[in-house]
Amino acid sequence: MEIVAIMLPVVASIFGTIVLIRSAQKNETTQNYMIEGMVIGMCLGLGIQIIGVPAGVGLGMLMGMIIGINIKKKKVK
């Protein structure tokens, strides 16, 4: 069980970074919710880290960033 706790953040970080880079390359000029996703991800990551998953804040921020980049802001008139 300890090996899973060690490898989970590493694998999730690598996978998340790859997805983030690919998403960011496609969305250079559009408005998105990246900052909002990072903030929510940091809060949820802190809760996960308190439970016992190492690097919870970093993983939460990365996942929130990925989700936020993929959601486009609607134009308000």
Domain ranges of the chain: 2-69
pLDDT on residue 77: 66
Question: What is the pTM for the complete model shown?
Answer: 0.58
Of 37, 25, 24, nearest to 68 (Cα)? 37
- In tens digits, the chain (77 residues) has pLDDT values of 677 777 877 788 788 778 777 776 665 556 878 888 888 888 888 888 888 777 788 888 888 888 888 887 777 66
Contact partners, residue 16, CB within 8 Å, separation at least 6: 59, 62, 63, 66
- Do residues 58 and 8 lie in contact, with contact meaning Cβ atoms separated by under 8 Å? no
Strand partners, 32: 72
State in Å, rounded, how far the first CA of the chain is from the last one: 53
pLDDT on residue 29: 59
